[in-house]
Every structure is written in C-alpha cells, then in structure tokens.
Amino acid sequence: MGPTFSKPLAVHETPIPGVLLLDLPTHGDNRGWFKENWQRAKMIAAGLADFGPVQNNISFNETAGTTRGIHAEPWDKFISVATGRVFGAWVDLREGPSFGAVFTAELDPSAAIFIPRGVGNAFQTLEDGTAYTYLVNDHWSADAQGQYVFLNLADETAAIPWPIPLADAELSDKDRNHPRLADVTPLAPRKTLVVGADGQLGRALRAALADHPSIEFASRSDLDLLGDLDAVRSWTAYETIINAAAYTAVDAAENPEGRAAAWAANVSGVAALARVATTHRLTLVHISSDYVFDGSRDLHSEAEPFTPLGVYGQTKAAGDAIVGIVPRHYILRTSWVIGEGANFVRTMANLAGRDIKPNVVNDQVGRLTFAEDIAGAILHLLGAGAPYGTYNVSNDGAPQSWADIAADVYALCGRDRGDVTGVSTEEYFAGKHAAPRPLRSTLDLTKLKATGFVPALSSEQLRSYVESLPGVRSG
C-alpha cells in the first residue's frame, strides 16, 4: 500500500492538546514519489508551531510488528514516515488536566505528526522495511534520558488497540517493563525564571506566584553573570524568563559611576538574557519605561520612536532594541511604578504623617503603575498567548501631575490637599544635579486592552495602597 497522493497541506488538532496531525502533499507516478517533508514557512502558515528543530533522526525497522514506546521526551518532535506504514499511539504524560489522554493514527509518507514535549509516543510497524524520521528541537544526549517519562505499552487505562497484538510483536525488554499509568510521575511543565525578584515588581511577582511550583526567583545579581548564564543553568528546563531587574537610579546614572552601572544592568545584562532566550527558544518578558521618550507628546503609543533625554532613558531604549529582536518577547512599557519598598507614594504618606508641607512637581503628567498590576499584565499576556511585541502598561484613569498625586495621598491620610504646593520641574531641581525628565508620560493602553486585560483605575489602587500603609490615618 503506497501513500495517498496530492493531498493539500493541512494541520488537524487532536484530542491531546498540542498534538497536531498533518497531511503532507505527496506527488508520485510510476517511478515513485516525492514530498516536502519539512517546509517551515508553509507549515507555520498552516498552523504548526515554529518549534526550531536542531536534529534529524531516522529509525529503521526490518519487520512488521516492531513496536517501540511509550516514551515521553523532554523536547518537541515532528515525525513522518519515509517508507512503509506505522500505527502510532500517543499518550499525554504531562502534568495537568489532559494527563492520560490518548490519540492513535496510522501514518504513511503522506502524513506527519507534531508531538510536544511530555507526550508519550509509540509506533508499531505495519510493513517490513519501515523507516520513519523525526526532527527534534534539542540535541539528544545520554543524560537527557534521565528526563524521559515512560508508560507500559499494555497499560489497561490507555487501552491502545494495537493492530498486531503485543504478544506477537517485536518489543525490547525495557519497553515490556515500563510502569502502568497509575505509577507514572507526570512530566512537570517547563519553568519560569524571574530575575530581579527583590525589587518592587519582583516582590509583586513573588506574591502572585508564590505557590506555583514551576517558578524560580533569582536576585538581580544573576544579570552580573552576563556571558556565563549558560554555565549556571540547563535552559532546556525553562520556558520563560521575566526580567524584573534594572538600574533605576535616574539621577545617579548621569555621573560616571552610575552611567557604567546603568549600561551594565540595563544593556549588557539584558543582552545576556536575550542571547539565552534566542538560543534556547525561550520567551523573554522585559520591563521598559516611559523614559525612552522625551515627553513631547500628550499620549505615547508603542510605535513611537525612541527619544530618550538622559542616560537612564538611553539605556532602557537600548535594552528595548535588544529584546525586540528576540523571536519570543514581550516588552512591557511602564510609568511611575509603585510597589513594596521606597517609592513616591510612601514618601508622601510619610511626609503627611510628619506634618510636612512639601513642594511637588506639577508640570510632569502621567499615570501611576502599581507593581501588582504589572505582574497581572505579565501573567495575562503569557496565559492568553497574546501576540509577541511591546505593550504599554499603566493604571487607567485621567492623567495627573506628581503634585496632584501627592495631594491625593495627603487627602487619603486625612490631611489638607492644600498642604501640597505645586512647582515646576525647573524650580524643583534648581541648583541640584538631576537627570532630564519627560514632562508627559501618559501611555496609550489601547493595545493592552485589546488583549482582554483591563488595568485598574489609578485612583482605586492608590486608595488601597495608602490605606494598607502602617500608621496611616485614613481621611
């Protein structure tokens, strides 16, 4: 029996999430047949994941009835038949609600199947001299076998209808003795690494993900490893890096020591993470800033060209440009971040508690961004599978000046709003060594909202935040 000729390329979903069955256009005549076994551009357009194969293997089986499996490997596979026919059986051995789901199909040269990491696969040849080929997106090694998950071919729960009974099939002793489904430890999902877990955003991510077993938290010092990042982790176990680390001392970045530190953390460190993410096909989530703009526009969109005024803004713009070439990336551009630790709102609440009447800048306009809402936006974009790219992220509501926000804090602390006096940026920084700042920092949230994420109102979050501060006398 030969392959079916002239089928159009098509990708079909199966009962196992992520397992895709493909029809391959196969052309033949009395001389034989030809097919494009792997054609990245066409297959991606048809709906196959761009899984980045790095190795091609061929398995030859001399006699019909040769049966192999059930093996779940720690990489993705694209499998097709070179000659002959096989009966394929796949069992989901990943941790999650689809654990134990089964799918079977017969494959000849006109069909192929994509198997994601952690789905067990097995084959039984239906003709003598059968060979099948598979592309994988990680290099095979003997050490990798320690990460396999195995299931017995005769497992009663999976109940695979083998065309040739296993008693009459050719099996290895290893495959005969694999565990039943009840004794299988599911393959855990790939991990997420949060870098900069000690900062305001990092703490918010810790709070949001504290009970998630596949999350790892690392301090900002991981960025200092730069080119050694490959030496300290086996990145095949990871899926996502969230970079919450940055040098944020805006004024100190203008002096020689601060300038070097800003470029090291915000550019060289980011480049190291981008290199790892690109090499290992990871998703890189990176936090940007309104300081990449000069503040000359009332509303900043994601498409606005970089126009940074100072060193800090220049390093953030450079980091954004680097992350932008990572195939799988999210850049979250934020403004005026408030979280756990020292920040503007805490400072104003402290001054209110001490009966101090401050001068606060009134010609810089934007919106606050609470760290918990940045964390929420990150988890939403990752969970929803939103298109990769840059997204503005801040809280919603009418733009305000720093003086407006300070007055709100004072009112929430039971003080008179009139205790806050507005002054211009020029007046406030007169005689001080300070970095230039954008005067307009309001971010357009249209693109983020289109993904289904609706940021909370800044006024509501500010009230909750101030009321949670110790010693605050609510107004």
- 407-416 pLDDT, tens digit per residue, is 999 999 999 9
User: Domain holding 354: CATH number?
Assistant: 3.40.50.720
Provide the pLDDT for residue 147. 80
DSSP per-residue letters across 422-470: EE-HHHHTTTS------SB-PBP-HHHHHTT--PPBHHHHHHHHHHHST
Whether residues 266 and 348 share a domain: the answer is yes
- Report the C-alpha gap between 70 and 87 in whole angstroms: 13
Q: At what angle do helices 311-323 and 269-279 cross, to 10 degrees?
A: 10
Is 146:127 a contact under the CB 8 Å cutoff?
no
Provide the pLDDT for residue 6. 74
> Quick check: is 341 in a domain?
yes
**pTM of the complete model:** 0.86
> Quick check: is 4 in a domain?
no
Provide the pLDDT for residue 2. 65
Q: What angle do CA 242, 320, 364 make, to 5 degrees?
A: 100
Whether residues 179 and 196 share a domain: the answer is no
Domain boundary among 162, 183, 204: 183
The domain total for the chain is 2
Which residue segment(s) compose the domain that 311 sits in? Answer: 191-468
Whether residues 157 and 249 share a domain: the answer is no
Burial degree of 398 (CB within 10 A; 0-12, 13-18, 19+)? exposed
Whether residues 458 and 313 share a domain: the answer is yes
Respond yes or no: is residue 71 known to be catalytic: yes
Is 312:267 a contact under the CB 8 Å cutoff?
no
Burial degree of 9 (CB within 10 A; 0-12, 13-18, 19+)? middle
- Report the C-alpha gap between 406 and 79 in whole angstroms: 62
Whether residues 208 and 121 share a domain: the answer is no
- 84-108 pLDDT, tens digit per residue, is 999 999 999 999 999 999 999 999 9
Q: At what angle do helices 344-353 and 458-468 cross, to 10 degrees?
A: 50
For residue 377, the surrounding DSSP H or E stretch is helix 371-384
Provide the pLDDT for residue 226. 44
Whether residues 202 and 83 share a domain: the answer is no
Provide the pLDDT for residue 171. 93
CA distances to 162, 369, 426, 442 from 397, rounded to whole Å, are 62, 11, 27, 10
How is residue 49 written in tokens?
């994941």
pLDDT under 50 in the chain at which residues?
223, 225-227
Residue type, 121: N
> Quick check: is 473 in a domain?
no
How is residue 282 written in tokens?
């990871």
Q: What angle do CA 227, 230, 233 make, to 5 degrees?
A: 135
Whether residues 223 and 94 share a domain: the answer is no
β-strand partners of 83 = 131
DSSP state, residue 117: T
> Quick check: is 3 in a domain?
no
Provide the pLDDT for residue 225. 47
Whether residues 266 and 343 share a domain: the answer is yes
User: Domain holding 58: CATH number?
Assistant: 2.60.120.10
- 208-217 pLDDT, tens digit per residue, is 887 787 888 8
Is 205:124 a contact under the CB 8 Å cutoff?
no
The closest of 72, 77, 60 to 102, measured between CA atoms, is: 72
Whether residues 268 and 366 share a domain: the answer is yes
Annotated catalytic residue, options 12, 27, 71, 428? 71
> Quick check: is 177 in a domain?
yes
- Report the C-alpha gap between 200 and 166 in whole angstroms: 58
Annotated catalytic residue, options 12, 27, 132, 134? 134
